[in-house]
Structure 1
């Protein structure tokens, strides 16, 4: 396993990836990687102190190359199949290690990679027909015990998150407006959490809206190149990896709503 990032390296901190993504967002749709890198060179001073600017720009340029390569990955098969998911994750991990050194990889992707492997293990256990229910339960507990202490702490809060998710579904079903949602959540979880959940609602609404646009494009054309262009306009490379599963879920939900 790669060594964890040097905790004395202020550059390789837990916010690095978010900062790079923020730079890319401000740079906008440049049309080609070279132009995007030029824009990042003009922006890097806003996001990193002068002593780190050159290092940050070199990292940002490799991050652009990584995202371009990520956007070219193609997946086939059922996205809910553990074997397909494992193959997809392995291809993505290979790209990450090609573009970043071990300490950089850990700072950028370490947390996500650990959770991805945990999720995959859970899916493989749940889909294993050779295991009895008791064996599955035992294997699931062992899988969670293998997480780092930090990830186990995050999992310990999952029950709260699930309760919030169920509450959000109820709000949606009842047509509860944003103001009433905020009042209810603030009383239960506090103002800070209510603000964060309101932003999650807005992000989810934005995501679902873009899924709607893409499904409309699918209904209007079967041209693969045209659809790829639409995907590039609506979704980031990371989001495009989620797209097959999101569309499959939408199809299942539509089918369940039909009489």
Structure 2
């Protein structure tokens, strides 16, 4: 079964969720979905670029001698594809790219950049022909699929190009898979599992290790807060548990977030009640302006929808 390129982003999500910490950006250096999607409509391949990240990640810690392979290269290619728009087939997309490449690369690099961009399109198409792992929760199946994907990349890019485009991602993937394997390995006692996870973390550079640790701490705090909320824990209990784990300053900061969230939910409830009153649309709109700041306004409707879904789930 061939896999559309954007399906690799779903595999990345499965891996990240299994680790509950690492966001593996496989399809592009941004939230999943950035690969050109290749679908079949009759006999026509429709290539649709999806929005790239708002900013490019720093892909290499040290300067590169080749100006084409500078940090942000992959992001620039994604922007080029986005600007080219939808195309009926790869050749048509390449024609559009040829007319746009000069706006994304300096004059002295346009010929090489165009050749690279054309191979990037071909790589995207080839990526869509690969088979997805049958079980995205199986580390070995994921490792096998990644090997096939990496081999495909090496068909279209030399080592220097590969490093510029994918090296940062590869570090995260190796770490994610190692942690996944350690977490799921059978026959390990708690100490052996701790050492295996520690060895997996050692695969990351020091700076990334610190970033990963911060991510996991944030996730742990969020999970703990959700558990507190589920059992309606009082502020004293929350403070005692949090300060014991993260320290007094963090406990106070989390308590402030609790108060902000409680205030937000109270305002949502008040506004929701006003909306439920028939014939008072004008009053509800006025209340909305009074209760919520301009920054909060875009969040209101989605928050009300979530409240409704939670209420319906609670009654089932």
TM-score (norm 1): 0.61
The residue aligned with 1:51 is 108
Inter-CA distance 81–23: structure 2 relative to 1 (3 Å threshold): same
- The CA distance in 2 between the partners of 1:137 and 1:144, in whole Å, is 11
- The CA distance in 2 between the partners of 1:37 and 1:165, in whole Å, is 45
Inter-CA distance 150–102: structure 2 relative to 1 (3 Å threshold): farther
- Partner residue of 1:33 out of 83, 90, 94: 90
- Partner residue of 2:215 out of 152, 158, 162: 158
Any conservation in 2 of the 1:5–1:103 contact (CA below 8 Å)? no
- Partner residue of 1:139 out of 196, 208, 218: 196
- Structure 2, unpaired ranges of 5+: 1-60, 230-260, 269-287, 303-312
- The CA distance in 1 between the partners of 2:187 and 2:222, in whole Å, is 32
- Partner residue of 1:95 out of 152, 160, 167: 152
- The CA distance in 1 between the partners of 2:186 and 2:315, in whole Å, is 30
Select the structure of larger CA radius of gyration. Answer: 2
Runs of 4+ residues over 4 Å off in structure 1: 163-167, 173-177, 179-183, 256-259
TM-score (norm 2): 0.51
Residue 60 (str. 1) matches residue 143 (str. 2) = no
Aligned length: 185
The residue aligned with 2:173 is 116
The answer to which structure, 1 or 2, has the higher relative contact order (CA under 8 A, 6+ apart) is 1
- Partner residue of 2:206 out of 108, 132, 149: 149
Any conservation in 1 of the 2:133–2:142 contact (CA below 8 Å)? no
Determine which structure has the larger helix proportion and give its number. 1
- The CA distance in 2 between the partners of 1:42 and 1:165, in whole Å, is 48
The residue aligned with 1:10 is 67
- Structure 1, unpaired ranges of 5+: 184-197, 206-255
Any conservation in 2 of the 1:6–1:103 contact (CA below 8 Å)? no
Deviations 1:116-157 (A, max 9, x none): 111011111111012112111111111111212343243243
